[in-house]
Chains A and B, each alone.
Chain A
Amino acid sequence: MTPSKTQGPTAERERAAAGFAGRPDTAAGPVEITVNGKRRTMADAATIGDLLRELDLDHRMIVVEHNGQILRHDVSAPAHVLHMGDVVELVHFVGGG
């Protein structure tokens, strides 16, 4: 299990903005996380894969950043377990110049 420490200034900012600053991890029960800047409650021991399924994004070409760590778009990403206060960014390509 990896500790749910945020990494990098942006993740810290988002964590603070979402009201997680200073909140300790809890051993069990629902976990509150931030997904694309918005708070979300997940079941205990929920994974990135569970989150993607809930959002109906599990078949989409997206990149996941979990607490500042970029997860390669492969089989390992969905297995990552979510912890209280985690910051997740779900990213894709849009039109641009």
Chain B
Amino acid sequence: MVTAVTSLAELSASGAPLTIAGREFRSRLMVGTGKYASTALMRDAIAASGAEVVTVAVRRVDLDRSNDESILAHLDTSRYFLLANTAGCYSVADACRYARIARAAGFNEWVKLEVIADEATLLPDPVGVVEATRALAAEGFQVLAYTNDDLITALRLEDAGAAGVMPLASPIGSGLGLLNPYAIRTIKHRLSVPVIVDAGVGTASDACVTMEQGVDGVLMNTGIAAAQDPVRMATAMRHAVDAGREAFLAGRMPRREVAVPSSPRAGMLG
């Protein structure tokens, strides 16, 4: 079995743990459990990612299929922190209902809150997600709110009691990468609660560039699940998140419009 942290070197690479609502997580990479060709592939990919937080969706049991198993039959819930989402909810009432049902499963009081506004883009409803965050936070939920890359909405979510804010890199499942690094940087700079970029990461460089903005973590599903080799991509994402975090902490050199030689100008042969 691959463990989340396999060596001291990796522990130092990931730096200080990610803390959300007083809970520490070793990995800054969170992964989804959807879209895998098989549950075995999902298990292996999640293990390779090193992720500790895994997202799950809330749906009806399919009564017509006797083999319709819960995802929990394939996940070691003592090893992973389950983060239920409200994916597919288009109203505040539905999102709150799904969150309450998820909480009744008894694992934790956390929710990855989605209030979707548009089927074509799956873009979030900024007004709805603020309203739902306020309602659920008042009920004791730790709300991680999926939102657009808009600073003002992010500030409103923090004010409404979100435990963390999850701005998108680009639309869910698009793999378009980080479209607005400036917006994400600004959100991270202005918020006190953790900022986890969720959705749109397509490959390792996307994850790395996202982490280089200084955000606290990245959540992805399709970027791993839809790769030709999900287990290998999960490994790449783990390294990319660590690399991006380290690069951010290291502080990059200033950009220059002119070349500056790395070798001495003096001492050239006559």
Give A63 to B59 CA distance when docked, in angstroms: 10
Q: How far is the CB of A78 from chain B (nearest CB, A)?
A: 14
Chain A: which residue is nearest B59 at the CB level? Answer: A94
Q: Does B170 contact A (CB under 8 A)?
A: no
One of A20-28, A30-38, A41-49 at the interface? A30-38
Chain A: which residue is nearest B77 at the CB level? Answer: A61
Binary per-residue interface labels of chain B (9-51) against chain A in the complex, 1 for a CB within 8 Å, 0 otherwise:
0000000000000000000000011111000001000000000
Give A93 to B74 CA distance when docked, in angstroms: 11
Q: Does A79 contact B (CB under 8 A)?
A: no
Q: Which of B140-178 contact A (CB under 8 A)?
A: 172-173
Chain A: which residue is nearest B39 at the CB level? Answer: A95
Contact A65 B101 (CB under 8 A): yes
Q: How far is the CB of A79 from chain B (nearest CB, A)?
A: 16
Chain A: which residue is nearest B64 at the CB level? Answer: A38
User: Which listed residue, B57, B94, B100, B105, touches A95 by the CB 8 Å rule?
Assistant: B57
User: Which listed residue, A8, A70, A92, touches B72 by the CB 8 Å rule?
Assistant: A92
Contact B70 A63 (CB under 8 A): no
User: Which listed residue, A8, A57, A93, touches B56 by the CB 8 Å rule?
Assistant: A93
Q: Does B258 contact A (CB under 8 A)?
A: no
Give A55 to B60 CA distance when docked, in angstroms: 13
Asked if A96 meets B33 with Cβ closer than 8 Å, knowing A61-B105, A65-B101, A73-B106, the reply is yes
Give A60 to B94 CA distance when docked, in angstroms: 24
User: Which listed residue, A9, A36, A93, touches B82 by the CB 8 Å rule?
Assistant: A93
Contact A35 B63 (CB under 8 A): yes
Contact A93 B105 (CB under 8 A): yes
Contact A62 B70 (CB under 8 A): yes
In the complex, chain B residues whose CB is within 8 Å of the CB of A91: 58-61, 101
9 residue pairs, one from A and one from B, having the closest CB atoms: A96-B57, A97-B32, A97-B221, A93-B56, A95-B33, A92-B70, A95-B34, A90-B61, A96-B34
Q: Which residues of A contact B (CB under 8 A)?
A: 8-10, 35-38, 55-57, 60-63, 65, 70-73, 89-97
